[in-house]
Structure 1
């Protein structure tokens, strides 16, 4: 197996190399890790994706936990490998942000998606052949982890503006959309949130033509993340970030109030 053929192949090749360096058979490693020798063989040959538990067990067996080059780190890089450039770094910042501002076009923002809605989007990508079923499942799992980081003792303030297309575009069928729109209304009832719809009729006054995320970090610094269909970009440069923040404020002023936005969601 060529370790350069994919991140999954590289992980398997490293596992085998580490095992052979200790003169262990797969049965020996199996006893140390608590996984069957067949499972270890499948990971080594790239036939099975490693999991977080598997990676941590490998670190315990090879005594690499706490080092700079752990199997867990390799697993996380493998897990995020299908994501756009800049997005893995953005996720690390998002998990610690004290304020999150989102603007989205066409689909409900990921942090507000229900599992069924997220799966429908991922399955659409599978049908188009852009990702594998395994990558689709991983994408939904990553989203669930992102949402879980927001459920903490002091959750971040979340300000969300969605283009009207987000709630008008049907995804996954009527029942999935009904559940998703109900989730949006539950979101508006939280004490740390605000949701606004940017209606179609604001026309050219809509200040963004692409989705954008703005994070305020604990030290009050800000970062912006924007992406196209094929590329993501994380920006810390103050001039750009402050310009984006100003445009976001203008967008909020043009958008419906939260009360009017909830009324529109009810109508849909």
Structure 2
């Protein structure tokens, strides 16, 4: 077991639109899949990742009406769809696409089975993306066998707060009530554990549920990319995002708790999620 620490990754124009209902700077699902891709491209075997947030800037502006409503930056489409933009009344103009973006500064602590090739990691980061955003800079790349030997900067751990979703029977009511609550200690922790401080909660994508059967379909990712590829096409299904709650906790306030690692798994054949595990 070893640890790969990517310190202060600067990510430019990452996606901040979590489904159709939430905007945030906590793309947990995208970060976990970024780490999965790092493993595929570099040959290492990452198991899970802890996310340390340093800075986030939502791209947009606030209104001048005194209510400070946030208006995210919007972009016009880059191409027509089948030679005609279906969402625009003007056949010669590209319509706006619903988007929200953010700049991020994060550090990632990745638990890896086996060795890590530093040169391959550096090469991967030159063209890597997180949530669609370009990785413009990495402060340092550190590899250690001992977790205590790592140099972790100050920041905010992103921790899962699915326990707050249990307050109501209806998931939407639970989500709205939880975001407006004072989040303290998780119910999963012992009663004598230190109380977590009140801090920011955010709704973000923590999973996907399939809404159609898995089937081989033409035109989806990994199909038709290479004309000479006669391999078996992967199964494909349309899905809907699953929103969950995360909380920003500063390293100082988090205290001696185990590091909050995230990992991906299938809850059942049609539900894929990321969830938190801990290690001392």
TM-score category of the 2 structures, normalised to the smaller one: under 0.3
Flag the structure with higher strand content.
2
Query: Which of the pair has the greater relative contact order for Cα pairs under 8 Å at 6+ separation?
Result: 2
TM-score in terms of structure 2 length? 0.22
- Structure index of larger Rg: 1
Flag the structure with higher helix content.
1
